[in-house]
Amino acid sequence: MKYRRKEIIEALQWNGKNQAEVKDFAGQFAMFDYADMDKDGTLDAILKVKNSEKIEAAHAGDYIVRGAKGDFFIVKQKEFEEVYEEVE
């Protein structure tokens, strides 16, 4: 038998530079630390996402997903693209 996920989720891909977009999406659940400057002189942001269980670091390419209950979690790009397809 084959199954498809029933849920429709909201997600945003972290590209390492879209801090404002992530903050608008995840609000207080998104936290940023800043590491060394990159080649173009901007600070590299390290994204951490807080959920009810833990604080998890995201890497560029990962997706920040808002679950059905309003919680946030990180899904690696490959896993996300295998499980979800864009609806709109």
Residue 65: domain span? 10-83
- At 72, the pLDDT band (50, 70, 90 cuts) reads very high
> What is the residue whose two structure tokens read 């084959």?
2
Q: 27 lies in a domain?
A: yes
The domain total for the chain is 1
Q: 3 lies in a domain?
A: no
Using alpha carbons only, what angle is made at residue 22 by residues 7 and 53, rounded to the nearest 5 degrees?
60
What CA–CA distance (Å, rounded) separates 27 from 41?
A: 26
> According to the model, what pLDDT value does residue 53 have?
83
> According to the model, what pLDDT value does residue 46 have?
82
Structure tokens at 18: 């879209």
